[in-house]
A and B are shown apart, each in its own frame.
Chain A
């Protein structure tokens, strides 16, 4: 068992008592007084202590696990030194979930898993069971749960040498600076990659990540394949509106490249107002100015789209962690199913599946065969945009006579 004696006094320690009481929808309306916000207020209590949500088998075997085995994609068997055995079933979720789905999750947890469940770092859902009979029933139950449109509610998979769930950001669902949609792209790519979600047939694990603008609130820069929304047009400046809705100095200060300068401009009616001008060639299309100033929108149907980076990883296994590299600089937003993004991801994954050695991550494969061969085998054009001209560019220059002949040199001969 875990020693939690030092936490006994923490307010977050005994949540069961609170959970015994049903939600009281009127409590806050009764007790909270906006004129006296500090009255009865609880602050800085932090999250509840994690141990209270563990299934019994985990409480008992915490720190005592001996080994694990993937019985099939998405099903893991754990063995403890106490002799206990536990099975875990992993399912995909789209990250964006409603309380309707959460209630269904609670029902499944009650039916099969002593009421417990867990989410992974990559938005998958995990169920814990302690006997094989329940495991079989749970798998069958999950396989039969579908949304009205036919998609699985909780498809099993995401382990081992396959593609696990895509971590992603909000996109057009709920963000003000996205250059593309996140949930729709993830759905489209995962539909297309589904055969890799629920199988172990790749040379190693493959992680796809998605961020809808270059601020990357989902850090995708160390992924086997990164899908990144990009803007390519500087923001508008609405001179007639800017002084009404923005503080000009804040908009200026928000720009990471100091591309925004104050300017006094004359409106159509001859009135002079304090506004700003954007030095377009310095704009890196981050949208920070729009965050501070609603009169500087930058979204644009033709400017916005998707870049694909590849060959990064996080694990320290065999080789050191590495950044993803820019492979495809721009793909237009093709709605609703992001056909070109899906097609290019498939080209990369299939070339990797064919070419890589067992245990070799995508970036290690590309490094071994050479990036010239990578572009060739993925059947992707190499463009000037993949040659770095930003900070630290020199790190990527090719300072050796060792290179391979490829289609790129053939056509020069």
Chain B
């Protein structure tokens, strides 16, 4: 049975926020753990909807794409645009 999308989204945000304290960027596989009952595709769709809502954000390592919670970790400016 498909899981409820809104419920799943809340679980993903909760999971990602908790995890962000240790590691601010997560693979999609990490987000699967937010709800073991949800299918990978459901998690993907929910996570991408959260990005559209601005509650998650993408980060690129070049060859892979990761998810982060806005406000956690280093910002683009801190990392790459010089440290002044």
Are chains A and B touching directly in their complex (CB below 8 angstroms)? yes
Q: Which residues of A contact B (CB under 8 A)?
A: 38, 215, 241, 244-247, 249-250, 253-254, 288, 291-292, 294
> Which chain B residues lie closer than 8 Å to A253 at the CB level?
23
> Which chain A residues lie closer than 8 Å to B22 at the CB level?
249
Residue of A nearest to B24 (CB): A247
List the 4 shortest-distance A-B pairs measured between CB atoms, nearest first.
A249-B23, A291-B62, A245-B79, A247-B73
Cross-chain contact A244 with B73 (CB below 8 angstroms): no
Cross-chain contact A250 with B83 (CB below 8 angstroms): no
Contact of B79 among A249, A254, A288, A294 (CB under 8 A): A294
User: A105 vs B61: C-alpha distance in the bound complex, in angstroms?
Assistant: 35
Query: What is the CB-to-nearest-CB distance from B63 to chain A, in angstroms, rounded to a whole number?
Result: 7
> Which chain A residues lie closer than 8 Å to B63 at the CB level?
215, 288, 291
Residue of A nearest to B53 (CB): A38
User: A254 vs B64: C-alpha distance in the bound complex, in angstroms?
Assistant: 10
Contact of A245 among B24, B25, B62, B83 (CB under 8 A): B83
> Which chain B residues lie closer than 8 Å to A246 at the CB level?
74, 79
Interface size on B, residues (CB 8 A): 14
Cross-chain contact B61 with A292 (CB below 8 angstroms): yes
Cross-chain contact A244 with B61 (CB below 8 angstroms): no
User: A158 vs B61: C-alpha distance in the bound complex, in angstroms?
Assistant: 36
> Which chain A residues lie closer than 8 Å to B61 at the CB level?
250, 254, 288, 291-292
Per DSSP, chain A at the interface is helix
User: A246 vs B23: C-alpha distance in the bound complex, in angstroms?
Assistant: 11
User: A368 vs B52: C-alpha distance in the bound complex, in angstroms?
Assistant: 58
> Which chain B residues lie closer than 8 Å to A288 at the CB level?
61-63
Contact of B74 among A38, A215, A241, A247 (CB under 8 A): A247
User: A215 vs B63: C-alpha distance in the bound complex, in angstroms?
Assistant: 10
Contact of B83 among A38, A244, A292 (CB under 8 A): A244
Query: What is the CB-to-nearest-CB distance from B31 to chain A, in angstroms, rounded to a whole number?
Result: 15
A-B CB contact pairs (8 Å), 19 listed: A215-B63, A244-B78, A245-B74, A245-B78, A246-B79, A247-B23, A247-B24, A247-B25, A247-B73, A247-B74, A249-B22, A249-B23, A250-B24, A250-B25, A288-B61, A288-B62, A291-B62, A292-B61, A294-B79
Query: What is the CB-to-nearest-CB distance from A38 to chain B, in angstroms, rounded to a whole number?
Result: 7
15 more A-B contacts (CB under 8 A) besides A245-B79, A250-B23?
Answer: A38-B52, A241-B83, A244-B83, A245-B74, A245-B83, A247-B23, A247-B25, A249-B23, A250-B24, A250-B61, A254-B61, A288-B62, A288-B63, A291-B61, A294-B79
> Which chain B residues lie closer than 8 Å to A250 at the CB level?
23-25, 61
Residue of B nearest to A217 (CB): B63
Residue of A nearest to B80 (CB): A294
Query: What is the CB-to-nearest-CB distance from A258 to chain B, in angstroms, rounded to a whole number?
Result: 16
Instruction: Return the CB mask of B53-68 against A: 1 if under 8 Å, else 0.
Output: 0000000011100000
Residue of A nearest to B54 (CB): A37
User: A247 vs B76: C-alpha distance in the bound complex, in angstroms?
Assistant: 12
Query: What is the CB-to-nearest-CB distance from A411 to chain B, in angstroms, rounded to a whole number?
Result: 45
Query: What is the CB-to-nearest-CB distance from A248 to chain B, in angstroms, rounded to a whole number?
Result: 9
User: A120 vs B83: C-alpha distance in the bound complex, in angstroms?
Assistant: 43
User: A292 vs B25: C-alpha distance in the bound complex, in angstroms?
Assistant: 11
Query: What is the CB-to-nearest-CB distance from B56 to chain A, in angstroms, rounded to a whole number?
Result: 15
User: A362 vs B62: C-alpha distance in the bound complex, in angstroms?
Assistant: 34
> Which chain B residues lie closer than 8 Å to A244 at the CB level?
78, 83
> Which chain A residues lie closer than 8 Å to B52 at the CB level?
38
Query: What is the CB-to-nearest-CB distance from A132 to chain B, in angstroms, rounded to a whole number?
Result: 48
Which of B52, B61, B80 neighbours the largest number of chain A CB atoms within 10 Å of its CB?
Answer: B61
User: A356 vs B63: C-alpha distance in the bound complex, in angstroms?
Assistant: 39
User: A253 vs B59: C-alpha distance in the bound complex, in angstroms?
Assistant: 14
Query: What is the CB-to-nearest-CB distance from B44 to chain A, in angstroms, rounded to a whole number?
Result: 15
Instruction: Return the CB mask of B22-33 against A: 1 if under 8 Å, else 0.
Output: 111100000000
Query: What is the CB-to-nearest-CB distance from B5 to chain A, in angstroms, rounded to a whole number?
Result: 18
User: A254 vs B62: C-alpha distance in the bound complex, in angstroms?
Assistant: 11
Residue of A nearest to B25 (CB): A250
> Which chain A residues lie closer than 8 Å to B78 at the CB level?
244-245
User: A208 vs B22: C-alpha distance in the bound complex, in angstroms?
Assistant: 46
Which of A38, A247, A249, A254 neighbours the largest number of chain B CB atoms within 10 Å of its CB?
Answer: A247
User: A254 vs B25: C-alpha distance in the bound complex, in angstroms?
Assistant: 12
Residue of B nearest to A291 (CB): B62
Query: What is the CB-to-nearest-CB distance from A237 to chain B, in angstroms, rounded to a whole number?
Result: 16
> Which chain B residues lie closer than 8 Å to A247 at the CB level?
23-25, 73-74
